[in-house]
Amino acid sequence: MTQIALITGASRGLGAAMALTLAPKYHVVAVARTIGGLEELDDQIKAQGGEATLAPMDICNRDAMAHLCRQVHDRWGSAALWVHTAIHAAPLTPAHHMDQKDWDKSVATNLNAMGHLVPFVGALLGEAGQAVFFDDPQGGEKFYGHYGTTKAGQIALARSWQAETAKHGPKVHIVTPRPMATHTRARFHPGENKDVLAKPLDEAARIVSDLAL
């Protein structure tokens, strides 16, 4: 039986690394807005003998995500795993200088989208599936008003879901990755020495192993 891993935010960084790491065991449904990144991921998955279905869409688009989840259900019946890495990383700035567009996009992507993703994907996972979220505890730190606030809200919802499903599933994991050489981190720490950071593929391998996914 084909096991499905839905990866939201799969076109680069940890999302792409998780997709590549999981591909030998799962059929990956890769969701992201960046078509070029998804196509590159697809080539890499195929090169290692795996298969992927590309879903170029914005997770904020409720109707598109509803349609995708229905397609997954109709084709495979369920999903075994959901890995959520999609994020909007607004530039660091003092709270009183926050840009309204960046604030709105941060709220939409990092927080509001969870309001439909959890119900839609949760239905696909059922009691036997697993979901993985990634904490980045920057909430309350200076200059992290956009990102820290909305990311903290996202994880708060994930923790509620985790507590609610502890006895009957799906199993919800919340992981704090090591600092990685990713596009998101580069936005926050330009000029940082990447040699001291974990590689996304190495971190993905560690996470998959630790969680026995």
Read off the pLDDT of residues 157-184 as tens digits, 9 standing for 90 and up: 999 999 999 999 999 999 999 988 888 8
33 is a domain residue = yes
Position 171 in a domain: yes
Give the 3-state secondary structure of residue 37: helix
**CATH number for position 62:** 3.40.50.720
DSSP letter for 194, please: G
Number of domains in the chain: 1
Residue 212 lies inside a defined structural domain of this protein: no
φ and ψ of 92, to 5 deg: -65, 135
**Do the domain assignments include residue 213?**
no
pTM of the model: 0.96
Assigned domain for 84 exists? yes
- Domain residues for the domain of 61 are 4-207
Q: CA–CA separation, 93 vs 195, rounded Å? A: 26
Q: What is the pLDDT of residues 45-104, one digit of tens each?
A: 999 999 999 999 999 999 999 999 999 999 999 999 999 999 999 999 999 999 999 999
